[in-house]
Amino acid sequence: MSTTTFKSGKRHTNRRILFVDDHEDMHTLLGAMLRKSGHYVMSVSNPLSALVLARNQDFDLVILDGLFTDGTGIELCKRIREFDSLTPVVFFSGDSRESTRHESINAGAQAYVAAPDISGLQSMVNELLNQPKSYGFGPWKIRLNEKR
């Protein structure tokens, strides 16, 4: 993560977020909100594109919709977890069933926010991005970005 200070004095943290949703209006709305908060947002509309990006680029957070025309967010989350167990994943979906929430967490997500709770999503994004990343090596664990 790098930090840039603008002429206005506002800091931009350049956190990279991968946002996956097949609704163009969500790309516009959430992309604008996250960019206004100082994040770099890469938006894609299908699981295959998201999988390619997640494999080949580093992101600080992934936001997934629950259902796509060619798959589910749960399937995508499981596929991402096959090669990336550290990047936080949050679901933002209109499906508010408790069973779907549990399935999403069991697939490897850290959080599930039911749409249209945009302020809840913003709070969760901030919370997840401010947690230190942990890297495990057998019984040892290294925490980065931790203040002493």
- Domains, the chain, with CATH or none: 4-143 (3.40.50.2300)
Tell me how far apart the alpha carbons of residues 136 and 118 are, in angstroms, rounded to a whole number: 33
Q: What pLDDT is stored for residue 13 in this prediction? A: 59
Q: What pLDDT is stored for residue 81 in this prediction? A: 97
Residue 8: is its pLDDT beyond 60? no
Q: What pLDDT is stored for residue 98 in this prediction? A: 95
pTM here is 0.81
Q: What pLDDT is stored for residue 6 in this prediction? A: 37
Residue 12: is its pLDDT beyond 60? no
What burial class does residue 107 get, using C-beta atoms within 10 Å of its C-beta: 0-12 exposed, 13-18 middle, 19+ buried? Answer: buried
